[in-house]
Amino acid sequence: MSQPQIIVNGVLAQNLRWNKEVFVPLSSGIQHQIEINFPYILGPSCRANMVVVLQPGQVLRFRYKTSFFVTSSGNISQID
């Protein structure tokens, strides 16, 4: 299986690693469209999307989970 990737506002921000935390810096005070997926045979699979607005100095943590089927959507959830 390929490595997941994070796309911020339509631009590939970073390639990720499974089960590893990563810091992705974002500007505060504006809306960001976040997508996480992983490349598969027919293109991006298990896509998950979320809109995020950070306050100055705020740090948020999220978890990405794939679905059982690569053709289904993944999930992004905020964690403490």
Q: Which helix (H) or strand (E) holds 37?
A: strand 31-40
Question: What pLDDT sits at residue 73?
Answer: 94
This prediction's pTM: 0.87
Rounded to whole angstroms, the Cα distance separating 17 from 59 reads 20
Give me 39's structure tokens.
């490349």
Rounded to whole angstroms, the Cα distance separating 35 from 18 reads 16
CB 16 within 8 A of CB 4: yes
Question: For each successive 10 residues of the chain (80 residues), what is the average pLDDT?
Answer: 91 92 92 94 92 94 91 90
CB 12 within 8 A of CB 30: no
Rounded to whole angstroms, the Cα distance separating 71 from 36 reads 14
